[in-house]
């Protein structure tokens, strides 16, 4: 299993790319990077708690997270927004922010993997 720094580095790389895309006004790229960041956190979880059929693709993993009642509603809702279709102008659903949603997912999963209280249900 890769160490936590490996996953944190990958997550930060995606957040950095997302911030750059935001500065360029590329909202579609912001969302893609937010999904990837959340996907790295899910991969971290799966390295500690393997789950059948979750795969390695961030989108598929987010769909599984969205549908898994084991996770808190706010985490599932964030995953739902990250997997929802967007408008032609790449407008994010519910007026939410993909970086905030990815951050919520990452925080919860990191706490869970590291044994914090966010893993309590």
Q: In this predicted structure, what is the pLDDT of residue 74?
A: 97
CB of 30 closer than 8 Å to CB of 22: yes
Whole-number pLDDT of residue 121 = 39
What pTM was estimated for this model as a whole? 0.89
- In the predicted structure, residue 97 carries a pLDDT above the cut 50: yes
Supply the range of the domain harboring residue 81: 4-119
Asked if the model's pLDDT at residue 90 lies above 70, the reply is no
Nearest-angstrom CA–CA distance, 91 and 31: 10
Average per-residue pLDDT for the chain: 89
* Structural domains of the chain, count: 1
The predicted structure's pLDDT at residue 119 = 44
pLDDT the model gives residue 94: 66
What whole-number distance in Å separates Cα of residue 84 and Cα of residue 104? 17
Q: Is the pLDDT of residue 1 over 90?
A: no
Residue that is written with structure tokens 């990837």 in the block: 36
Look at residue 23 and tell me whether its pLDDT is greater than 50. yes
Nearest 5°: the CA angle 31, 92, 38 is 35
pLDDT band at 93 (very low <50, low <70, confident <90, very high): low
CATH number reported for the structural domain that contains residue 104 in this entry? 1.20.120.330
């Amino acid at each position: 299993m890769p160490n936590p720094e490996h996953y944190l580095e990958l997550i930060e790389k995606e957040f950095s790319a997302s911030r750059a895309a935001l500065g360029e006004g590329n909202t579609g790229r912001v969302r893609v990077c937010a999904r990837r960041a959340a996907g790295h956190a899910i991969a971290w979880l799966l390295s500690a708690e393997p789950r059948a059929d979750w795969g390695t693709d961030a989108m598929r993993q987010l769909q599984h997270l969205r549908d898994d009642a084991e996770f808190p509603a706010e985490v599932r809702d964030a995953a739902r927004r990250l997997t929802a279709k967007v408008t032609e102008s790449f407008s994010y659903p519910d007026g939410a922010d993909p970086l905030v949603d990815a951050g919520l997912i990452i925080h919860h999963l990191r706490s869970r993997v590291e044994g914090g209280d966010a893993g309590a249900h």
